[in-house]
Structure 1
Amino acid sequence: MTHSHNENQVRRILDLYAHYADTRQAKKQADLFAPDAVFNVFAAGNEETPAQTFKTPAKILAVCENLKRYKTTFHFNGQSLIEIAPDEHFATAETYTLAYHEIDVAGKNSLMNVAIRYNDEFIKIADTWKFKQRNLYIRFVDTKYGIDSQQI
């Protein structure tokens, strides 16, 4: 496989993660992770120790299923800097994402926009790229209460 083909495959995993989140396909989203993967959430954005760590397939699936508590979500991936290792079995990526979460708060429709920077490590298992480690860094959260959202 060519270097650019591997890069495209890694980019597809990043996009599938967002797609599966928004379409509530938690099992498919969790299956993007290697069996021994680690998913870290850094709530303040720059701390050295994650606020939460998930290390088993069951716990990663639970994180993915947790998105069901929102009426809707909308993940928009921006730039991704992807590096494929020379052996083409390991890769890293830094991806910027805006994640919108619509939820009812005290009887009012509310929207939470989370600016996220992901730092990821990937491993190729049987010619398929999987997340080996996903670090989610929350850069900022913007919340609007009492919005009037219309589904079109």
Structure 2
Amino acid sequence: MNTEQQGQQAADRLAIRNLVDQYAYCADTRDAQGQMALFTEDTRFIVFMDAKSSEPTQILHKRADLFPVFDNLNTYRATMHFNGQSTVLQLRDDTATGITYCIAHHQTIKDGVQQLMIAHIKYHDRFVKQNEKWLFAERKLMVDWIENR
């Protein structure tokens, strides 16, 4: 790999990490449209509320179907998604795969009492570069466990 290729690969890895972080930022600022724009038109969004299950809880097959999922965050008073390690597993030209660890805090207030649901998540992603921009082609949201306080 020559210097130019190494530079491009480093730029691609940084752009992918920025994409992952932008997803969390949009979630926490309730920007459902901005969050949707991070996905390809024909994206696959697959939710496993139990990461050990072989059957997904929900499968969506296109960007337009993501709105209710992202808009549902408005049921919480506040959320905070902390992205941990994020690894690009394979990067080839305009495609990549990766995994990101996330701890997502979801706050509600019920009868004046704060309740906090903390989800420990791993995202398994397929990325594609379209028009010089990295997007999610597939995002598997795998909930390892949930803690309620």
TM-score normalised by the chain length of structure 1: 0.89
Tell whether the 8 Å contact from 1:6 to 1:84 is kept in structure 2 after alignment. Answer: no
Tell whether the 8 Å contact from 1:42 to 1:49 is kept in structure 2 after alignment. Answer: yes
The answer to whether 1:104 aligns with 2:132 is no
Segments of 5+ residues of structure 1 without an aligned counterpart are 145-152
Match of 1:33 among 35, 39, 62: 39
Q: What is aligned with 1:65?
A: 71
Tell whether the 8 Å contact from 1:38 to 1:55 is kept in structure 2 after alignment. Answer: yes
Q: Number of aligned residue pairs: give it.
A: 143
Alpha-carbon deviations, 1:85-134, whole Å to 9, x = none? Answer: 33x20011100000000013465320000000000000111111110000
Cα distance 1:106–1:50, how it changes in 2: closer, same or farther (>3 A)?
farther
Match of 2:17 among 11, 14, 17: 11
Distance in 2 (alpha carbons) for counterparts of 1:56 and 1:22? 22
Match of 1:113 among 114, 118, 132: 118
Q: What is aligned with 1:132?
A: 137
Q: CA deviation at 1:54?
A: 1.3
Tell whether the 8 Å contact from 2:89 to 2:99 is kept in structure 1 after alignment. Answer: no
Of 131-140 and 49-58, more deviation after overlay is shown by 49-58
* Structure that is richer in helix per residue: 2
Cα distance 1:116–1:45, how it changes in 2: closer, same or farther (>3 A)?
same
Alpha-carbon deviations, 1:6-61, whole Å to 9, x = none? Answer: 00000000000000100111100011000000100001112222111111222212
SS of the residue corresponding to residue 17 of structure 1 reads: helix
SS of the residue corresponding to residue 2 of structure 1 reads: helix
User: Structure 1 segments of 4 or more deviating over 4 A?
Assistant: none
Distance in 1 (alpha carbons) for counterparts of 2:91 and 2:141? 22
RMSD: 1.3
Q: What is aligned with 1:75?
A: 81
